[in-house]
Structure 1
């Protein structure tokens, strides 16, 4: 059967001040369609029964996520005791899924992407699950056709075509996974037409990814097996804390994808946005006649090419501004040059250094 794993442990610091430690990006409503994680789960509604959805997050977010999904049993939301990247997260999820369904096929995805239309996504997942069912050792991922030479995404280089049905989306053997490139290399990838952005969405059999982790990351796998052995016993919490903290964190790309021999990439037949920063809102919402993206009660005078976001009815007035991000929350306001948006991470670090924990 098909099972879904939603990875929801990110911090989303580039969305400060809306994103906080107790309410990161995946718990924000940035599109008007509910929170990011709610939209992710809704996207799965016609694919996977709620009893086969597993959310893996951090311990501090278990309760807020449970409030988002009262229909899910408590056991369906797993809180990691510390951050260890995606490979341990995925490995643990595969072990837990395998306890009840050793032949499970898993679709694994982040909790904070915007994807549309849902029907195209669901059709693509069904197709990918079929490819996995055909070849037990196969791993399937989705590649996004690049729109520009991005330096913030990993890339997938495609190899020989695997498409045999003209009605199916283009599918290729993966030649190689590439790390986030520098500008000149990103331009080469983009201009070649032979590369996709790495969506971070995967389909595989649970036992396939577990065998791959055991082969390529035996120490990590041993810790995960120890956790699984005590799962559901009185020792669960203590073992989980001890063994998970002992794992050396690593992404699934480094741990498995760069080494696995049978990886197929499906050219995504859906629209995808990873909503990585405030400027993502410009792609997801219509701008006004002056190029402003406004999600607030706003009065703009001689204001162009700005992003304005506020909670509630708070009025934001901008006068003579251009290329600026203004975000207002109950206890903090950000005013930033759009060209300096990546430095919002530095703002968060500065707040931490100053001990202003109430604003984190």
Structure 2
């Protein structure tokens, strides 16, 4: 019988595209974005409890959010919360968790998942996960989960696979970052592209060997410091180690370079909840396509997202495809698909004061 996998939840992001609701002091993964009574992080934990015990979870997060993880997941012991001194993207983050687990149980199966995704049709989801775990038992294989696209989405990365290259695990041919609309339509029409979910499955040995081959500088640092894992020297080691790492994604640093990458196709409902528009797509709407959270009156307004935390009555007239979001001390009004400018919004808001970000 296959042993239960370790679950690594990545929860260190800023969530700037959900500003002003998501703030640096409490990013979106720590918020009840969907109104379920559970935060996105808690929902991710709840989901994977179906296949793993509490002691098999690790949450890796930015050091300033450790207290939030402890607050929201009291089931976890301190050693299960991995603290990053700096944000260096997903490659160092995943490597840290991978070497940590490898030091505990070499060859263990691992599932890497973001903390802020929406997954529905969980029966189909776990079917894909179980297929991925099975495929990952072949040494050196790196497995990713691809989502069958239903529209030419420009907000997701894409994976092209080799058709007929396997029964369930298909050989990956290319990775493509977020494409323009024309290219996304071409991908959709071709039939051999899937959305990159950012979820990975592998054995710890497969990850370590891949890092040694494709990211030797990073691998060397962790290999030499493995004796620090599980001791009171671990925080100091990690602080020094992160000064040596580049800011690099696991897709670019590892997955695009390896010839041992395979994809499991998933046909469950999935969203990375990366923006207000992605949230608008999944929320219940009125007859004009509007999502309203809070007390509002709308006139001649269509396909918009109106949200207010306060008791103020929000009156909106004449908008289409717009976001109106009031949270604490910030009121944001912009096109609903304007997430590409959110980093600029946050950067400029900081000039007005740290309380605004």
What is the TM-score normalised by the length of structure 1? Answer: 0.93
- Partner of 2:327 in structure 1? 329
Check conservation: 1:44, 1:122, Cα contact below 8 A.
Answer: no
- Partner of 1:167 in structure 2? none
Q: Per the alignment, in what secondary structure is the counterpart of residue 213 of structure 1? A: helix
Aligned mate of 1:187, from 177, 185, 200? 185
Decide whether aligned partners of structure 1 residues 261 and 341 sit closer, same or farther in structure 2, where only a CA change above 3 A counts: closer
Aligned mate of 2:153, from 150, 153, 158? 150
Aligned mate of 1:317, from 306, 315, 334? 315
Check conservation: 1:88, 1:224, Cα contact below 8 A.
Answer: no
TM-fit CA distance, 1:227: 4.1
Aligned mate of 1:61, from 49, 65, 69? 65
TM-fit CA distance, 1:312: 5.5
Matches of 1:313 and 1:226, distance apart in 2 = 56
Matches of 1:181 and 1:39, distance apart in 2 = 29
Cα deviation, 1:217-267, whole Å, max 9, x if unaligned, reads 111112223443323334322221111121112111112211222222111
Matches of 1:227 and 1:303, distance apart in 2 = 58
- Partner of 1:240 in structure 2? 238
Matches of 1:171 and 1:234, distance apart in 2 = 40
Matches of 2:148 and 2:128, distance apart in 1 = 15
Cα deviation, 1:111-148, whole Å, max 9, x if unaligned, reads 11101122221222112111112x12222111112223
Q: Per the alignment, in what secondary structure is the counterpart of residue 345 of structure 2? A: helix
Check conservation: 1:224, 1:244, Cα contact below 8 A.
Answer: no
Matches of 1:179 and 1:17, distance apart in 2 = 26
Check conservation: 2:62, 2:86, Cα contact below 8 A.
Answer: yes
What is the TM-score normalised by the length of structure 2? Answer: 0.93
Check conservation: 1:281, 1:293, Cα contact below 8 A.
Answer: no
- Partner of 2:252 in structure 1? 254
Cα deviation, 1:189-220, whole Å, max 9, x if unaligned, reads 22211111111111100110111101111111
Greater shift in the superposed pair: 320-329 or 87-96: 320-329
Matches of residues 68-87 of structure 1 in structure 2 within 5 Å?
68-87=72-91
Matches of 2:47 and 2:230, distance apart in 1 = 30
- Partner of 2:12 in structure 1? 9
Matches of 1:38 and 1:198, distance apart in 2 = 23
Decide whether aligned partners of structure 1 residues 145 and 269 sit closer, same or farther in structure 2, where only a CA change above 3 A counts: closer
Matches of residues 196-345 of structure 1 in structure 2 within 5 Å?
196-311=194-309, 313-345=311-343
Aligned pairs, number: 353
| Structure 2 spans left out of the alignment, 5+ residues | none
The RMSD of aligned alpha carbons is 1.8
Q: Per the alignment, in what secondary structure is the counterpart of residue 276 of structure 2? A: coil
Check conservation: 1:161, 1:171, Cα contact below 8 A.
Answer: no
| Structure 1 spans left out of the alignment, 5+ residues | 165-169
Check conservation: 2:132, 2:169, Cα contact below 8 A.
Answer: no
Check conservation: 1:223, 1:244, Cα contact below 8 A.
Answer: no
TM-fit CA distance, 1:182: 3.4
> Runs (4+) of structure 1 moved beyond 6 Å?
none
Matches of 1:190 and 1:12, distance apart in 2 = 28
